[in-house]
Chain A
Amino acid sequence: MTNPVTKDRRHFEDLSPGEVIDLGKTQVSREMITTFAGEFDPLPFHLDEDAAKASLLGGLASSGWQTGALSLRMLVDNFLSKIASCGGLGFRNLKWKNPVMVGDIIGGTVTIAELRRSSSHPQWGIVTLDFDMRNQHGKPVLTMRLANLVECRDPGAPA
C-alpha cells in the first residue's frame, strides 16, 4: 500500500547515520514572542518589556516552548517535509541553554544519530535526530534528541 503523499520522498532506507541537515536561520521578532506567549506561556517576562527588564533574563525573551516550536518548524521545512515522515515519538534531554531575546537570529543543524526498524511495525523505521540550535553569537540556545517515525519503502525486507 503506497502512500500517494509520500511516495516520491526519501524513505527510511534512503537515510544514513551521521547525515547533517542545515536548518537555516530564523529571526525572532517581538511580535512572534508576544503572540506565542499570549496563547501558551503568559508569563510577564515573555509578554511585557518592563517586567522582562526587571527579571533574571534582563529583557523580553521567547518561551522555551516557542524556541522548540521554531526549531521544529525549521526541521519540517528542511527535512521532515522531504522524507516519508509519519509522526513524532517524542524527545529526550531537551535543554534550554540560553534565552532567545527579541531580534535574535537562531539557526543550527540536526544530525541523524541513529536509525532502526520498528520491531512491532515492520512498515516503519525510527530516525533519531540531535538538535544543535544556536544564536547569532554562536551561543547554544537549545539541544535535544528527537525520535520520528519514517515509512519504509520495502516493509517486507528483513530488519
Chain B
Amino acid sequence: MTRWFEDIVIDEPFPLGSHTFSAEEIIRFGRAYDPQYFHTDPDLAKHSHFGGLIASGWHTVSVGHRKMVDALFAEEERLRGLGQEPGVSGPSPGVNSMDFKAPVRPGDTVTYQLVVTDKRRSNSIPGWGLLFNRLTATNQHGDLVYEADLVGFSKLRDYRMPWRLTLLLALTRVPVLGKLIRRGS
C-alpha cells in the first residue's frame, strides 16, 4: 500500500478488485509460460482430472499482482486528492507461501484482497519497515482460489537518519572517495 509505514492498519481488508478469465487469455498465458495440456488445449484438457481447461496458477497470481499494483496507484491518487503526500513502497524480497486451492476455469471471476497481518521496522535497512501481507483470491462461488503470504517494504515517515549515516552517504557522492567507501562496505 502506498501509505507510510506508520499509517498502515493491521488486519484492515484492502480490496484489490476482480478479474474474469477468458479461455483465450488462459491459453495465451499457458502457451507462453506454462504449456501443460490442461492450460493450453481444451480438448486434451478433458482427459485431466480437472475435466477441462484451467488457468495456470502462475497466471492467476500474476493477475493478482497486477490488481495490487493498480490498487496501489489508485490509493496514491486518493491520498493526493486529499492533499496528503503518499507513502513509498519498496521492492518485495519474496513470498513465504503460496497455496493453490481451487482451479480457475474460463469465465470464472476472481476477486482479490490484501490484508497486512503484521509490520515491524527493518533491522537491516534503516528508514524502512517490513510488511507481512496476506493475499487471498476467491471465485464467484466464494471458493478460495489461492492464499499467499508475501513480504513487502514500506518507507517510514518519521525516520531521521543518524548524522554519521548522512555524512557517509554524502561522502559516497564524492567521485574517488565514494568508490573507496562503496568498495569498503
Contact = CB atoms under 8 A, between A and B. Distances in A.
A42 B61 contact: no
B37 interface: yes
Given A69-B58, A72-B33, A85-B36, A40 B100 contact: no
Interface in A12-66: 39-43, 56-57, 63-65
B66 A42 contact: yes
Interface residues of A, number: 35
B98 A39 contact: no
A5 interface: yes
A95 B93 CA distance: 6
A74 B105 CA distance: 24
B47 A96 contact: no
A117 B48 CA distance: 19
Interface of B: 32-38, 44, 47-50, 54, 56-58, 61-63, 65-66, 69, 90-100, 103, 146
Contacts of A89: 99-100
A96 B92 contact: yes
A90 B100 contact: yes
Nearest to A85: B36
Contacts of B93: 95-96
Contact of A70 (B33, B91, B100): B33
Contact of A93 (B54, B58, B96): B96
A40 B65 contact: yes
Contacts of A72: 33-34, 56, 58
A92 interface: yes
A69 B47 contact: no
Nearest to B45: A5
Contact of B98 (A73, A94, A95): A94
Which among A42, A63, A76, A91 has the highest number of chain B CB atoms within 10 Å? A91
Contact of A76 (B35, B47, B95, B96): B35
Nearest to A42: B69
B38 A87 contact: yes
B62 A90 contact: no
A88 B50 CA distance: 12
A21 to B, nearest CB: 16
Nearest to A39: B66
B66 A40 contact: yes
A41 B92 CA distance: 13
A81 B34 CA distance: 10
A4 interface: yes
